[in-house]
């Protein structure tokens, strides 16, 4: 049914446009120099600003605490990146008020240099989140752009 298909697509877009994205700081937004703040990893803050503009909720998810955490928040703010929440699910959360409090953050996506396989570059991260592509799809496209196209093998010619 065409109508239902349309509904599904807009529902999907809605989900994609309102993702909660947890972002690590050290080693992810800046080079790892903890407790100092390292140099920005190329395009990190520009990408984060684009994701905020696309209505995603960004949560800073860091092991930093106290003054060191404030320094990181200020560093991001000075570059135009304002987080929805910091080290918690939503701005008002506190342990006593949230009956469902759990140490496990409820994010849709994590951007963290401790991911298996490490941190993709920020251009790739943007493509994956904003265009809903898999890591493999983005890499294949990047390879495709660099190499002349080869004739595709039919599946029965593979292996
Ligand atoms: Mg890290």
- Angstrom distance (rounded) from CA 14 to CA 61: 24
pLDDT number for residue 70:
96
Q: Would you place residue 1 in the very low, low, confident or very high pLDDT band (cuts 50, 70, 90)?
A: very low
Question: Bigger pLDDT: 154 or 146?
Answer: 154
pLDDT tens digits for range 27-83: 999 999 999 999 999 999 999 999 999 999 999 999 999 999 999 999 999 999 999
5 assigned to some structural domain? no
Q: Would you place residue 156 in the very low, low, confident or very high pLDDT band (cuts 50, 70, 90)?
A: confident
Q: The domain spanning residue 34 has which CATH number?
A: 3.40.50.1000
143 assigned to some structural domain? no
pLDDT number for residue 152:
77
- Give the start-end residues of each E strand in 6-133: 20-23, 57-60, 85-86, 109-111
pLDDT number for residue 153:
79
124 assigned to some structural domain? no
CA of residue 109 to ligand 1 center, whole Å:
15
CA of residue 99 to ligand 1 center, whole Å:
29
**Structural domains of the chain, count:** 1
pLDDT number for residue 154:
81
Return mean pLDDT, the chain. 85
DSSP per position, 34-74: TTS--PBPTTHHHHHHHHHHTTPEEEE--S--HHHHHHHHH
Query: What is the domain extent for residue 59?
Result: 18-113
CA of residue 9 to ligand 1 center, whole Å:
35
57 assigned to some structural domain? yes
pLDDT tens digits for range 74-115: 999 999 999 999 998 777 666 666 566 566 778 999 999 999
> Which residues have CB atoms below 5 A from the ion given as ligand 1?
24, 26-27, 113
94 assigned to some structural domain? yes
44 assigned to some structural domain? yes
What are phi and psi for residue 20, nearest 5 degrees?
-95, 120
CA of residue 91 to ligand 1 center, whole Å:
22
CA of residue 48 to ligand 1 center, whole Å:
16
40 assigned to some structural domain? yes
28 assigned to some structural domain? yes
CA of residue 127 to ligand 1 center, whole Å:
21
């Amino acid at each position: 049914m065409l109508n239902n298909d349309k509904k599904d697509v807009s529902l999907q877009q809605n989900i994609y446009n309102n993702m909660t994205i947890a972002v690590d700081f050290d080693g992810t937004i800046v080079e790892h120099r903890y407790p100092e703040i390292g140099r920005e990893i190329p395009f990190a803050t520009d990408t984060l600003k684009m994701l905020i503009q696309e209505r995603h909720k960004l949560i800073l998810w860091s092991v930093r605490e106290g003054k060191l955490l404030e320094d990181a928040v200020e560093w991001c703010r000075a570059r135009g990146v304002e987080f929805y929440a910091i080290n918690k699910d939503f701005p008002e959360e506190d342990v006593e008020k949230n009956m469902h409090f759990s140490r496990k953050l409820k994010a849709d996506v994590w951007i963290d240099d401790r991911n298996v396989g490490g941190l993709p570059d920020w251009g790739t991260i943007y493509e994956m989140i904003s265009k809903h592509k898999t890591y493999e799809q983005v890499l294949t496209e990047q390879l495709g752009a660099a190499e002349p196209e080869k004739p595709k093998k039919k599946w029965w010619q593979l292996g």
